[in-house]
């Protein structure tokens, strides 16, 4: 029996030592219920009482040495596995990362910020108002009563008879004048809406920037000076401005304002359609009715206002011929800015 036990031990240890040892199989083969060692223990009944404890002890030693060998080998195999895994999954944190595509601001946002900066530099501050507006602020307070023909050219989207999507940023003028005593010097950029069908030059949603100055003794000369500085900053130092008489219900007198073509300098080219001038905004002296509607005494104060389309200015500046390009999110277009 002694020989059997030591044969079991050496056989088992040899198998455990093999590089591709299947430890679980070996364990079952020697230590399992039907294993070789168990078989030896079963036969112990036939031994003499003196031999029994000796063989029993030896059997235990054999079991222990096999168990230890299996445990050690298992640890070793696991360490090897981990090492291989670490090698395979090696990560070089100093390697340059793959660049994620980064976008940039939309040309309209960029134009708006540029406009804002020019006017902030002239002492204006930014005012904002709601896009969902009362009829009163969008029309009535601006001297456009019900049935006034100007409502046709600024037809918009109605939520109720009384609530609409603002068709211009001019209602912000009214809201500011209601709450702030002169001197007032604000610009109000933002979205406006009109029920126009979308085509190359019209969109039911577009952006305006409006300016308003109210103080004692403000004249048309201040308006001209302000816009002349603006035009030079926006389109270049050589830019001239030109006023053409026009009509807006909320200003009197009113004008449409052109800038000399910044491509041909006034000689006439494709951009200005041979005119030498490009129309960029509407302006005028705030109508006395509008001032008194807002609680400002027109005998004491006067002021000017102007409004421009941000799309229109951006299109002129970059020679963009279709307003829809701004809203289509086509990267081939946007990447050019």
**Positions in the binding site for ligand PHE (CB under 6 A):** 168, 170, 210, 248, 251, 282-284, 305-307
Q: How far is the CB of 94 from ligand PHE (least distance, A)?
A: 57
User: With respect to ligand PHE, which residue has the nearer C-beta, 210 or 311?
Assistant: 210
User: With respect to ligand PHE, which residue has the nearer C-beta, 256 or 275?
Assistant: 256
- Please give the torsion angle defined by the CA atoms of residues 46, 50, 54 and 60, in that order, rounded to the nearest 10 degrees: 50
Helix (H, G, I), strand (E, B) or coil at 72: helix
User: With respect to ligand PHE, which residue has the nearer C-beta, 15 or 167?
Assistant: 167
Q: How far is the CB of 216 from ligand PHE (least distance, A)?
A: 20
Buried b (16+ CB within 10 A) or exposed e, 140-177: ebbbbeeeeebbeebebeeeeeeebbbbbbbbbbbbbb
Nearest to 291 by CA among 168, 177, 185: 177
User: With respect to ligand PHE, which residue has the nearer C-beta, 44 or 205?
Assistant: 205
Q: Give the DSSP H/E element, type plus range, for residue 255.
A: strand 251-260
Using CA atoms, how far apart are residues 214 and 188, in angstroms rounded to an integer?
A: 14
Tell me the residue number closest to ligand PHE, measured at CB: 307
User: With respect to ligand PHE, which residue has the nearer C-beta, 137 or 248?
Assistant: 248
Q: How far is the CB of 104 from ligand PHE (least distance, A)?
A: 29
Residue at token pair 């090492």: 83
Q: How far is the CB of 203 from ligand PHE (least distance, A)?
A: 14
DSSP state of 140: G
């Amino acid at each position: 029996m002694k020989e059997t036990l030591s044969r079991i031990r050496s056989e088992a240890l040899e198998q455990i030592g093999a590089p591709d040892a299947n430890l679980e199989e070996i364990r079952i083969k020697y230590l399992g219920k039907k294993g070789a060692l168990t078989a030896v223990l079963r036969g112990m009944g036939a031994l003499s009482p003196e031999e029994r404890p000796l063989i029993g002890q030896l059997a235990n030693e054999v079991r222990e040495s096999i168990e230890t060998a299996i445990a050690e080998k298992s640890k070793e195999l696991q360490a090897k596995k981990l090492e291989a895994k670490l090698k395979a999954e090696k990560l070089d944190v100093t390697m340059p990362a793959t660049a994620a595509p980064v976008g940039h601001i939309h040309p309209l946002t960029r134009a708006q910020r540029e406009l804002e900066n020019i006017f902030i530099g002239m002492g204006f501050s930014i005012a904002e108002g709601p896009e969902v507006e009362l009829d009163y602020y969008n029309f009535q307070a601006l001297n456009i009563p019900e049935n006034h023909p100007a409502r046709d050219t600024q037809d918009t989207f109605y939520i109720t008879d009384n609530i609409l999507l603002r068709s211009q940023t001019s209602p912000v003028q009214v809201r500011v004048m209601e709450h702030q005593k002169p001197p007032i010097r604000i610009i109000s950029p933002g979205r406006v809406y009109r029920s126009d069908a979308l085509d190359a030059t019209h969109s039911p949603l577009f952006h305006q920037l409006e300016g308003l100055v109210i103080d004692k003794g403000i004249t048309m000369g201040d308006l001209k000076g302000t816009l002349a500085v603006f035009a030079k900053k926006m389109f270049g130092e050589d830019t001239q401005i030109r006023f053409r008489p026009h009509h807006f219900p909320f200003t009197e007198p009113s004008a449409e304002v052109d800038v000399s073509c910044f491509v041909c300098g006034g000689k006439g080219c494709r951009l200005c359609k041979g005119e030498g001038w490009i129309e960029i905004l509407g302006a005028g002296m705030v109508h006395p009715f509008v001032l008194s509607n807002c609680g400002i005494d027109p005998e004491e104060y006067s002021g000017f206002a102007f409004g421009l389309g941000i799309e229109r200015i951006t299109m002129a500046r970059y020679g963009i011929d279709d307003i829809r390009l701004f809203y289509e999110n086509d990267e081939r277009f946007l990447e050019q800015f």
